[in-house]
A = this chain, B = another copy of it.
Amino acid sequence: MREVYIVGIGQTPVQEHWDRSARDLAADSMLQAMDQAGIDKADAIYVGNALSGELTGQEQVAALVADFAGLTGTEAVRFEAAGASGGAAVRWGYLAVASGVHDTVLVTGVEKMSDLPGPAVEEALVTSTDEEYEAIHGLTLVALHALLMRRYMYDYDLERRDFAHFSVNAHRNAVNNPCAMYRRPISMQAFEKAKLVADPISLLDSAPAADGAATVILCSADVARATAGSFVEIIGSALATDAVALHDRPNPLFLRAAHESAQKAYAQAGVGPQEIGVFELHDAFTILAALSLEACGFAGEGQGVRLAMEGEITLEGRIPICTMGGLKARGYPMGASGVYQIVELVQQLRGEAGANQVQARLGMAQSVGGTGGTAVTHILRAPH
């Protein structure tokens, strides 16, 4: 397998872009990344998207986006794995370059969620669950996570407010990210008073549906050398799956797919969690942040929330997470978020994270589908 480098990144602000469609957002991020890398074509375009069919009535998004970005005819396909769609697109982009299939792959994540009213979005989001055994009973995505959070609080003797640290951290970090949706800090008190969505999950536990697109350009060493500037290397990549329905998992509080994909990525990179300096995780809900930290070895079983309570997830902590706001405050354009994570890691590893800069040689990103049915993990290394 060949070395794979990221030579260009692009992203649109995450927000409700009422005046822009998915193709417009996608092309915007693609052109930014191509401009940065100094390239005007790619061997292939891999698009991560979760809900374009349900939310905008548009499938075959990859061909559409390729054409709109001026790359008509280019091999292009869409990857879908619910919330892990963007991570999946990055994974196959990595594989295509690493294996020698392609020299340059443009990986774009895009999602447009603001065209329909809330109930329609909720109906679309629930497709990430097991339709025949979960959704059919009225269980929504947030309700399933509420079950997880309630169980976690019971098992480990925690209160709802103990989860606040994840959201406070995410919002604090988003203040300095010009592409973030919610650029304002929140207080512990605001978290405690936030309206409940599905008890014990409140609005401030939940990442907001949003519009946005992000792009990374992956290429071989030969192509990378021909571009200007420093570049980040992908040294670990893995995807694993699990039962989609919560009740089909021996221990619902153990994110098996997250664990498996992290273990494989660690093994490939030849590192462990202690060597990871920044971790962009999938905080669609605060409980998922806690479970991901545990599944990936940053905290022991039942210790994920305590890690946050101890301040270890902040920019100054042992393992900074959501350094540009995470899904919670940067915003959660579903199928795009896995690519946003990689863009933000690249910013950190190239020293371009501004006021939020952490000192890290290695960064990790993890993208999760549904309550954990799919997980994709990538480990990136800073330029030498």
* Chain A contacts to B: CB under 8 angstroms: 1, 21, 23, 50-51, 53-54, 56-64, 66-67, 72-82, 88, 91-92, 95-96, 98-101, 123-124, 126-128, 130-132, 135, 238-244, 248, 256-257, 260, 369-370, 373-374
Q: Oligomeric state, in number of copies?
A: 2
Question: Contact at B131–A76, with CB atoms within 8 Å?
Answer: no
Question: Contact at B101–A53, with CB atoms within 8 Å?
Answer: no
Min CB gap A240→B, angstroms:
6
8 Å CB contact of A95 from B53, B101, B260: B101
Question: Contact at B241–A58, with CB atoms within 8 Å?
Answer: no
Chain B residue at smallest Cβ distance from A84: B60
Q: How far, in angstroms, from A379 to B1 measured CA to CA in the complex? A: 26
8 Å CB contact of A57 from B50, B126, B244: B126
Question: Can you name 28 A-B residue pairings with CB atoms under 8 Å?
Answer: A21-B132, A50-B59, A53-B54, A53-B124, A53-B127, A56-B131, A58-B127, A60-B369, A60-B373, A61-B80, A62-B241, A62-B374, A63-B241, A63-B243, A67-B241, A67-B244, A67-B248, A72-B241, A73-B256, A75-B238, A77-B79, A77-B80, A78-B80, A78-B81, A80-B80, A92-B92, A98-B101, A99-B101
Q: Contacts A53-B127, A54-B54, A243-B67: A60 and B81 contacting too (C-beta < 8 A)?
A: yes
